[in-house]
């Protein structure tokens, strides 16, 4: 079952932050391109640098908080954390995790 992108579930929080991290990477890369190649103006880096830093930390925290609810093993957790390093790695990891069932919410346990 496909989870909607909402902050009310662990999957939703993870998906939103994975996308936000990739978008903030794109903004930072664009800002660096303009700073070093086009106009030697730092405004893009000054805006997207701190934004990307904040989203990066939020993604790391959400990934750590996603491990238990989704019953990820250590390998999946480490891959999720490492996906934050290369540009757009979080989206690649999110798609892989969805395709392999790692973003499926576990069924509620019977009492």
Give residue-wise pLDDT tens across range 36-78.
Answer: 888 888 888 888 899 999 999 999 999 999 999 999 999 999 9
- Whole-number pLDDT of residue 5: 66
How many Å separate Cα 62 from the centre of its chain?
8
Average pLDDT over every residue of 12-26 = 94
Alpha carbons within 13 angstroms on the beta-carbon side of residue 88 total 4
72 touches 105 (CB < 8 A)? no
This prediction has a pTM of 0.85
Query: By the 8 A CB rule, do 21 and 84 touch?
Result: yes
DSSP state of 36: I
């Amino acid at each position: 079952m496909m989870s909607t992108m909402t902050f009310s579930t662990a999957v939703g929080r993870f998906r939103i932050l994975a996308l936000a991290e990739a978008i903030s990477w794109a903004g930072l890369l664009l800002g660096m391109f303009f700073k070093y190649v086009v106009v030697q103006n730092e405004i893009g880096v000054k805006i997207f640098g701190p934004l990307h830093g904040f989203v990066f930390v939020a993604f790391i925290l959400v990934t750590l908080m996603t491990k238990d609810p989704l019953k990820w093993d250590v390998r999946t957790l480490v891959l999720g954390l490492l996906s934050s390093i290369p540009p757009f790695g979080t989206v690649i990891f999110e798609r892989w995790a969805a395709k392999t069932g790692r973003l499926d919410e576990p069924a509620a346990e019977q009492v």
